[in-house]
Structure 1
Amino acid sequence: MTRTRRFFRCDSRLSPPGPGSGSAYLVIAAEVSARLLGDAYGLLRSFDAVIGPTSDGGWYAFGLREPSRAPELEPLTDSGTLMLAALRLGLRVALLPTLPVP
């Protein structure tokens, strides 16, 4: 699966609080709805990372409240490995719904 890196900047009413407030790191590997994108940002208000797993063990979305952590995690292609690595870094991780792989 080819991953398309998209960086989103959101206004202060939507952005998660904390360091780097006003921006978050989000990689989208598939077309996702505006609702899922909004859910990801909503979860980043309370969690350090958000992962959208796929039914084959990969992921379609990966987001971080603090973009500086991205190089440590973004190369991981398996959603389980990604979640475990984030937890080992002490990050609080939330999951988006699992999407089927076409």
Structure 2
Amino acid sequence: MNKQVVIEVYGAEQICASCVNMPSSKETMDWLQAAISRKYPQQPFTIDYIDIYNPPEHEEKKVFAQRVIEEDLFYPVVLVEGKIVGEGNPRLKAIYSELEQFGYQPK
């Protein structure tokens, strides 16, 4: 593996109206972190949660948070190195596939 991948989870405290009975964005982030750590042990990655209604001062994150709101994307929206790989109820298979593009090897 050549690079520590950055995964971003954009979401909100309130569950998306179309995502009733789904885990919250933060719960999804915790679930992803655990699942990825198990699948790719000893292969570091960074996972960040960004609240779409209170994004950090980083301009790129603010712009994407606004896009989630304006385009009515289903959140949480999961990005791997800036590419959307999951929306609403993200699929591990899609996320794993993207990580493997960066050289991650499953256990």
TM-score by shorter chain over 0.5 = no
Higher relative contact order, chain-length normalized (CA < 8 Å, sep 6+): 2
Which is richer in helix? 2
Computing the radius of gyration over CA atoms, which structure comes out larger, 1 or 2?
Answer: 2
